Each structure stands twice: as C-alpha cells, then as structure tokens.
Amino acid sequence: MNVKSLLLGSAAAFAAASGAQAADPVVVIEPVAANYVEVCDAFGAGFFYIPGTETCLDFGGYIRFQVDFETGDAARLSDGDWGSWTRGHLDITSKTDTELGTLTGVIKINAEYSSNTYFNGSGVKLDQTYLGLGGFQAGYFTSYWDDGLVGEIDDLSGETKFNSMRYGIVADGFIAGLSVDALSPSMISYDYTPASNHVGFSSRIGFAAGGVDMKLDGGYDTYNEEGSLRLMAGFALGPGELNFGAQWASGWNAYANKADDYFGPGAYSDWAVAVGYGLNVSDKFKVTPAFQYTHLDDTAAGIEADSYWQGGALFEYEIVDGLAAKLNLQYYKADDADDQDLFNGWFRLQRDF
C-alpha cells in the first residue's frame, strides 16, 4: 500500500466519523445570570432590594464640619472663645411591606472628633435606632419635642431623645400620636438624686393643609408630677415661611426647657414665646431671622434673673447639590443683677448624601 492510498483511506474514515457525530444532539450551555442590585421604588429614591429578599435597604447620611464661637459674660466654651468639630453621620434604613403595614428598621450612628470638650466629645456613638410596624415604633429615637421652628434660635423643649414606645397616625394632613418614654435620673432631677428610672408620656396632635401647619405637643413627667405644653404654627407667607411657638411648664420636668447652663441647677423656663421667618432670597440662598423671650421660674435657689431674650439670624447657601454652607449668629441678654449677655454662633459646611 502506498502513501497516497493510506492518506485517502484516512481522510475517508475521518469524514465518516464526522458525519456520525453530526447526528448527535447539540448541547448548549446557558450563561449564568448576573445578580444585579434591583432598585426598590416603593419607598422613595435611594432604596434597593437586598438580593433574594423582599426587603428594601437605603444608606444615607452627612459629613459636617463646624466651628463654634462665643464671647460675653455667659460664655461656656471651656477651651477658649472658639472650637471646631467634625462629624460623620450614617443612616441605615430597611423597609418591607407586610399585611400589618410597613416593617421598618433604622440605625443612625455618629462618629465625631472635637477640639473643644464643651459641645461635643470625640468618638463613635449611637444617635438613634428603632423598629416600626405600621404606626407603632419602639427603640431609642427623638420625640415630638425635638421639632423646632425655622432657624436655629428657638429653644422650646427639654429632653428630646428617649427609649420609647410610640403609636402615631398620619392621614390626609392630620397627625396624632402618644409615646411612653423611659426617663433617667439625669432627665428628671437637677441634683440626680432619684435612684431609679421613671416614665413620661408625650403626645402630639396637629394638621397641615393649605400652607398652614399647626402642632400641639404635651409631656408629663411621673417623677416630678409636672408637665409641659407647646404650640407651634407655620404659615406660608410671601417668599418664605412664618413660624410661631409658645411653651409652658407647670414645674421642673423632663420636657421643660432647662436654663441651668446659664443660671445653675434648678433653672427652667416656665413659659416662652418665639417667632421666626424663613426668607427664600433665591433658589440657593435663605435667610432666617428669629427671636425668643423666655420667662424663668424664680423659686430655685441661686437664680437672680427672671427672664432672658435671644435673637439672631441663620444664613444658608447651597454651594452645589448636596453641599451647603450655614452661618448662625445669635445674641443673648439676661435680666439679672449682672446684666449678663452673650454673643455666639457657628459656621458649618455639610455634605448630605
């Protein structure tokens, strides 16, 4: 057999084998689908589904740099007449639709560094954390008393953050809620003598419609058996918003505005009134002048003043979307024998995300 015959025979055998294999079924391997993060639009912008679940998750927060300054008879900064601090704030929110309403979980954390020990300490601490189902909420969070008027001048509340259980209703501009708050000794007595915790009750009823916003808050401290009331009102007026506020306390209690920083242990506001107007100068620039008059309880030992007033303005400018600069200036004057006064304020840069 010559080489030519051998090559022809091999080619024929290879062709026959190829024809037989062509008759076999073709197996196609499907590519594995990539697990991309899916946007969850049921609860607003920023939420996404945790892969493999029906729970939506959102991350947010801000980075804040601030310089505080003050001068005057009642200055409180311990390391001089100014100080600076920086905070990183992280919000983590989860939401899931259930047959009983939206199931919510929130964790808020602050990480801070301060060059002055009076206003802020350095370190990482829990800001708030709570769970919610429908109108029910339980955990450590700010109360209704944490809300304020426009600007940064008003001071119409005492303690504003508690371990609490709260139930609230929000519907068609109407809001109503009741909270049971855990009160610690430092909240309920200026000399910290109670050895055990007590409870307080706080509530809100209000409505918002047609450019008008009204809120009535109540608080009752079971240890001191005293309470506070607060009324706040907002009105859309011209190129801005006009706010009024008034606060009254029957006696020293956890919800009353404390004045012990200036006047010593036991000083508190038995009534106060405040007003502010947020003027939108442009889409990026806002100015908010504000004023408050506070009448003090005069029964606590060592209090010489029976009132003080404070006024000032907040300037806000949006540098770019997500970055704002703020300057707050405030003057404080006490009606006492020493005629104390104080000028203070702060400058802030904040990046929200």
Q: 249-289: per-residue pLDDT in tens? A: 999 999 999 887 777 777 889 999 999 999 999 999 999 99
| Predicted local confidence at residue 117, as pLDDT | 60
Q: Tell me if 255 is assigned to some domain.
A: yes
> What's the domain range around 292?
146-320
pLDDT band of residue 66 (cuts 50, 70, 90) is very high
Q: What is the pLDDT of residue 79?
A: 57
pLDDT above 50: residue 144: yes
Q: Quick one: pLDDT band at residue 4, thresholds 50, 70, 90? A: very low
Which segment of 7-11, 73-77, 82-86 scores lowest on mean pLDDT?
7-11
Give domain status of residue 137, yes or no: no
Give mean pLDDT, residues 162-167: 98
The whole-chain average pLDDT of the chain stands at 87
pLDDT tens track for 9-18: 544 444 444 5
Total number of domains constituting the chain: 1
Report how far residue 86's alpha carbon sits from residue 63's, in angstroms, rounded to the nearest whole number. 8
* Residue 71 domain-assigned (yes or no): no
Mean pLDDT of 215-224: 96
Per-residue pLDDT at 301 exceeds 70: no
Average pLDDT over residues 318-330: 98
Asked, for residue 70, whether it belongs to a domain, the answer is no
Q: Region 64-78: what's the mean pLDDT?
A: 79
